[in-house]
């Protein structure tokens, strides 16, 4: 059992020491202004400009460390927290590290559906989630726990099929496997301990979340500036999915105006096409470092 509980007012945050979530999480922390020494050389890293310390550990250990109050917060995949059954609170889904836990079978093995797995052995690093899924089906399987390289077990005749994390599917293809069912969707989450924490930490967490929300909203948005005919202003305002009313500035040419606003990146091209149809020109699109709605 991890010990001791973090009973100082410094916010301790757990994150993966190395792996597929590490670099993106570090980029997020740096993006919200946290400054710290080289995290690759230390397990416990103190931030210089925010009362936070980072504990870099195995991702499998993060839910337990947060559950037991050793760490106040943790960045971890939803699949890991669910597999551990940790008693924590999910504060944010962070929209990176997106993957899925899937059942995969050999392409030429005749195991085409979940029902075909009745009486078969399944290798997995996620025995708890695998059992939970099959308990709700009239399919009796024998799970085999494998700590790594799950995808090779059918070729070694260790198992008939696997349940494993899939991102692109390239690893499955390289091992002659194909997905037949997704049993869990996952992404990186920010989790919080349910242990009692001080008011000072609660206030730090609120500030921390404000920074994360602003940073992520900025990543999903773009700042645009354009010139447009004055008589098209109302139509353009209807086109732009702005957070608030766009900024409208008069130009030297009295028949033209400048419009500044923010739009969601996933609507960018559709909006651009409509703006051009209304006579918008000189459109400039800029990334946003951070924003507070």
SS3 180: strand
User: How many structural domains comprise the chain?
Assistant: 3
> What is the chain's alpha carbon radius of gyration, rounded to the nearest angstrom?
25
Q: Quick check: is 4 in a domain?
A: no
pTM of the model: 0.83
108 and 181 together in one domain: yes
Whether the CB-CB separation of 217 and 293 falls below 8 Å is answered with: yes
211 and 253 together in one domain: no
pLDDT in tens, the chain (293 residues): 455 577 688 999 999 998 889 999 999 999 999 998 877 778 899 999 999 999 999 999 999 999 999 999 999 999 999 999 999 999 999 999 999 999 999 998 889 999 999 999 999 999 999 999 999 899 999 999 998 889 999 999 999 999 999 998 899 999 999 999 999 999 999 999 999 999 999 999 999 999 999 988 888 888 888 999 988 888 888 888 665 678 888 899 989 999 888 888 888 888 888 888 889 888 888 888 777 76
Burial 172-187 (b: 16+ CB within 10 A, else e): beebbbbebeebbebb
104 and 172 together in one domain: yes
24 and 74 together in one domain: yes
Taking the alpha carbons at both ends of the chain, their separation in whole angstroms is: 41
What residue numbers bound the domain in which 146 lies? 99-186
Number of helices and strands in the chain (H, E): 8, 15
Q: Quick check: is 86 in a domain?
A: yes
181 and 192 together in one domain: no
Q: Quick check: is 5 in a domain?
A: no
> CA of 36: how far to CAs of 21, 26, 54, 176, 227, in Å?
18, 10, 9, 43, 43
113 and 167 together in one domain: yes
86 and 133 together in one domain: no
- Please tell me the number of Cα atoms within 13 Å of 37 on its side-chain side: 8
């Amino acid at each position: 059992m991890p010990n001791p509980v973090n009973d100082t007012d410094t916010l301790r945050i757990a994150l993966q020491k190395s792996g597929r979530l590490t670099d993106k999480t570090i980029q997020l922390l740096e993006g919200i202004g946290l400054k710290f020494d080289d995290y690759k050389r230390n397990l416990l890293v103190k931030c210089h400009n925010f009362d936070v310390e980072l504990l870099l550990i195995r991702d499998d250990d993060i839910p337990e460390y947060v559950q037991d109050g050793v760490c106040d917060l943790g960045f971890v995949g939803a699949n890991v927290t669910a597999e551990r059954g940790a008693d924590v609170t999910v504060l944010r889904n962070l929209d990176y590290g997106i993957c899925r836990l899937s059942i995969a079978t050999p392409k030429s093995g005749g195991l085409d559906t979940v029902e075909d797995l009745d009486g078969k052995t399944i290798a997995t690093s996620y025995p708890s989630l695998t059992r939970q899924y099959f308990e709700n089906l009239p399919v009796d399987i024998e799970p085999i726990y494998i700590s790594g390289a799950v995808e090779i077990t059918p070729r070694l005749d260790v198992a008939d099929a696997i349940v494993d994390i899939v991102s692109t599917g390239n690893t499955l293809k390289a091992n002659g496997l194909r997905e037949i069912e997704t049993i869990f969707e996952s992404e990186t989450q920010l989790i919080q301990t349910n242990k009692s924490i001080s008011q000072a930490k609660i206030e730090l967490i609120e500030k921390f979340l404000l920074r994360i929300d602003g940073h992520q909203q900025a990543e999903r948005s773009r700042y645009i500036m354009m010139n447009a005919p004055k008589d098209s202003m109302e139509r353009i305002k209807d086109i732009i999915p702005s957070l608030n009313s766009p900024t409208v500035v008069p130009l030297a040419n009295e028949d033209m105006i400048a419009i500044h606003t923010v739009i969601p990146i996933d609507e960018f091209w559709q909006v651009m096409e409509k703006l051009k149809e209304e006579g918008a020109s000189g459109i400039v699109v800029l990334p946003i470092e951070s924003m507070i709605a």
